[in-house]
Amino acid sequence: MSSLSLVRGIEPTNYFRKYIVIIDGCAVGEISSGETKHFELEPGEHSIQIRIDWCKTVPFSFEVMKDKNTRLVCGANYNDWRCSFMWMIKPSNWVYISEFQSY
């Protein structure tokens, strides 16, 4: 089974709010703080975006391999004093998506 696992860490910014998950231009669900969501996808190239209100990431391209799980992580870029105004200045940078880094 080919799939995508999207991990959202626990963060103070947007803690009580869900992000909308958009894969290949279609809203496919929501993800809460601290949650991991799994999506079955066809092998090949895909794009994903995360949205909250009018703040949306730029499309993030990723590849799903046959019978493999791809892991990505998402969250808020600003978890300090900048969160009070950065949503107005750079809405496309308010939330992020990146490859999952295991240490």
Cα–chain-centroid distance for residue 68?
19
pLDDT in tens, the chain (103 residues): 899 999 998 888 788 889 999 999 999 999 999 999 999 999 999 999 999 888 889 999 999 999 999 999 998 876 666 656 566 666 566 688 988 876 5
Supply the pLDDT for residue 11. 83
Supply the pLDDT for residue 86. 60
For residue 55, what are its two tokens?
A: 């703040």
- The pTM score is 0.85
For residue 70, what are its two tokens?
A: 């791809």
Query: Cβ atoms within 10 A of the Cβ of 34, count?
Result: 11
**Would you list the domain boundaries of the chain?**
3-99
- Say if CB 44 and CB 68 are below 8 A apart: no
Supply the pLDDT for residue 76. 85
3-state secondary structure 67-102: CCEEEEEEEECCCCHHHHCHHHHCHHHCEEEEECCC
Supply the pLDDT for residue 78. 65
Residue range 3-99, CATH number: 2.60.40.1120
